[in-house]
Structure 1
Amino acid sequence: MMRTATAEEVGLIIDWAADEGWNPGLDDARAFHAADPVGFFVAEEDGEIVAAISVVNHSDSFAFLGLYLCRPDWRGKGVAFALWKHALAHAGERTVGLDGVAEQQANYARSGFALTGATSRFEGAARPAPALRGATPEDLPALTALDETANGITRPRFLGAWLADCDTRRTLVLDGPEGPAGFATARLCREGCKIGPVVAPDGETALALADAAAAALGAEAFILDVPSAQGGFREALKARGFVATFETARMYRGTPPEAADTLYAVATLELG
C-alpha cells in the first residue's frame, strides 16, 4: 500500500536517511513537513514501512524530489519504483528537481530527468567572522525574495520554517543600503554543522556569511553543498583548506528554473 506519510513518519524517514549516511539536520523533520505536509510518501507491506520518498510542491510551478529510500530487504522488488511513480504524480505538471547520486543518473533519465549540473559537498574549518545580525520574522519577505532570485523558484512555506531560529538553527543577515543583501542559515546535524542556503552578492561575502552563521551555533567547522556554477567559489574554498567529500547530480524533469549567480550553497539536498 502506498500512502501519504504522517508528520511523525517524516521523522522516521529522516532517521533512515541518517542511517544511509546522509547526515540530516537535527530539526529537519519540522521544516521539511511544513514545506508540503502532503508531499511525503511511504510504501507499506504487512503493516511495515518498507520504502519512502518526498516530492515537495514548493509552488504552482516547481517541486523537488528527495528522500528516496528503501529498506535493503525490499530492494529490487519493484516496491520503491512503484512509490516513485506514485509520488511524482503529486507534482502534476510542475518542473521537478532532484540532487541524486551520480550512479543513479541513468535511472532518473528514464523517468524524464535531464542533467544540468552538480552539487559538491565541501567541509572545512570556520574562521573568525564579522558581526552580523540574526534574522527576524520581519526579514522573511526580503529573504524570500533573495532566495527566489538566487534559485529561480519561490518556496515561501519551506523558508518560513527553515529560517525560523531554534536551538539547532540560526540565520544571519548581511544588510545593504536598501535592506538585506544576503543571508546564510546554519543548522546542527547528526555530525557537524551545515550552512545553507548561502545567498550573497559575491564569494567573499558568502564565506563571511558562512563563518558568521557557524559562529552563531558555536561550530568550529562547517559543511557547504555548492552548485557547480560557482566554480570560483569552489576554488576559493579549496585554497582555504576545504575538502570536497561528496557530489550529487542536479537534474530536472521539465524546464529548469532560471537561477542567478547569488546562490553559493543550497539549503538541503533533499528539498533543494
Structure 2
Amino acid sequence: MGVTTELNMRKGVKVVLNPPQKLFDSFQNWISNTERWNYRHAEYKLWCTAFEKFWLYMAVDESTEDVISVVSLALQRDSDGKKLFSIGNYYCVPEWRGKGISNKLFVQVMKHVGDENCTLFGAVEMSALYATRFNFSLMNEFWHNFADINMKDIVIPAMPKGFTCKKIEENDWEKLHEYDETICDLDRRKYMKTNLSLNGTVSRLVINETGKIVGFGAVKMAYAQELIMAPLYAENLDAAVALMSSILVSVPGLRAFESLITIYPDANNDVPRLLSLISNDRFESHKAYRHQYTQELMRFPQHKIFGTDEVSHSPC
C-alpha cells in the first residue's frame, strides 16, 4: 500500500494504491449494497497476485478513512505476448458522485494503459460515456445479461448420459489449460488455476465418453450469501447441464444461500435453457453489460460461454 501524490485531489481526500484488505472489505460492503457486485473474500488477493501487474486506486476521506471511489487495472498478455489491459471496479460512493473524483482515478489508470489495447465491461447506462470520453469505442454487437435465481427455486438437474464430472486434480491442469486456450487467447494459466482453487469455490471439469475434456466451471460462494456461476465453459448444453448438476450438489449448505447469479453473453441461446433447467423456469434476466475496447476487439466462441468468469478483469 502507498499513498500517491500523482493526482491533484481536493483537500481532505487522499488516494491509496493497492490498499489493505480492510479498506477493500469496506468497498465490498458499499458495492454489495448499492450495485450488487459481490466477490469472494479472497478475490482482491487473487487479483494482486495472479495478474502480471495489478493496480487498485482508492480515494479515501482523510478525516474518516471512509472509501470514496475506486478503480482497478490489470495487465495480461495474449499468446503472442501482446498486452491487454482491463479496467474494473469503477465506483463512487453515492454522496461523493458528481465531484470529479472518480474521473481523476479513471484518467490515472489510463496513463498506465497509454496506447495499448484496453477493455472493460460497460454497463448499459455508462457504455456510451466510455465510448466517447475514454475511447472505448470498439464493442461487441451483443450485450451480456445478468441472470438471477432465488435459491428456493434451485433444481439440481439429472446428469446427462455420456458425461462424467470430476474435481480438478493436479494431473488435470494441463488439459484444462489447453481447453481454456480454445476459449480465451490470454496467458492466464496462473490466474485460472488460482481462481478455480480459491477458498469458497466449487469447481469441476466435464469429460465425454471418449475421455476428452469438453468444459469446466465453478460456483463461487460470494459476499451477501450469493452464489456466482462463474466461469462456466462447455461445448454444448448437455455438457453445461452436467457441470451444474455436479457443482450444485457439491456446494456446502446450498440452500442457506440467498441467490445464484450469472453474467452471460446473450449471443449464446443455450444459456436461458440451462437457467430454466436449474430454476424450474423461474429466473430473471436483463441486459447489463457490453464488452468495449480501445484498440482491437477481441472475439471469443460465445456459444461455449455459459457464465463469464467475472466482469472486472476477465474478457470472457
TM-score bin (small chain) = 0.7 to 0.9
Return the TM-score normalized by structure 2.
Answer: 0.76
Task: Provide structure 2 residue ranges, at least 5 long, that are not aligned to the other structure.
Answer: 1-13
1:15 corresponds to which residue? 29
2:191 corresponds to which residue? 158
Q: Does residue 222 of the first structure (1) align with residue 260 of the second (2)?
A: yes
1:119 corresponds to which residue? 144
8 Å contact kept, 2:234–2:306: yes
Q: Does residue 250 of the first structure (1) align with residue 263 of the second (2)?
A: no
2:218 maps to amino acid: T
- CA shift, 1:3, in A, is 4.1
1:29 corresponds to which residue? 44
2:108 corresponds to which residue? 86
1:208 corresponds to which residue? 242
Q: What is the rounded CA distance, in whole Å, between the counterparts of 2:20 and 2:85 in structure 1? A: 19
> Aligned residue pairs: how many?
271
8 Å contact kept, 2:241–2:274: no
Q: What is the rounded CA distance, in whole Å, between the counterparts of 2:307 and 2:86 in structure 1? A: 16
> Structure 1, residues 61-106: CA drift from partner, whole Å, max 9, x if none?
2222211111222211111011011112333444222223201112
Q: What is the rounded CA distance, in whole Å, between the counterparts of 1:160 and 1:236 in structure 2? A: 25
Q: Which has the larger radius of gyration?
A: 2
Return the TM-score normalized by structure 1.
Answer: 0.87
Task: Provide structure 1 residue ranges, at least 5 long, that are not aligned to the other structure.
Answer: none
1:52 corresponds to which residue? 70
Q: What is the rounded CA distance, in whole Å, between the counterparts of 2:110 and 2:171 in structure 1? A: 35
* Pick aligned residue for 2:275 from 237, 254, 261: 237
Q: What is the rounded CA distance, in whole Å, between the counterparts of 2:263 and 2:71 in structure 1? A: 21
RMSD between superposed Cα atoms in Å:
2.5
8 Å contact kept, 1:147–1:154: no
Q: Does residue 42 of the first structure (1) align with residue 66 of the second (2)?
A: no
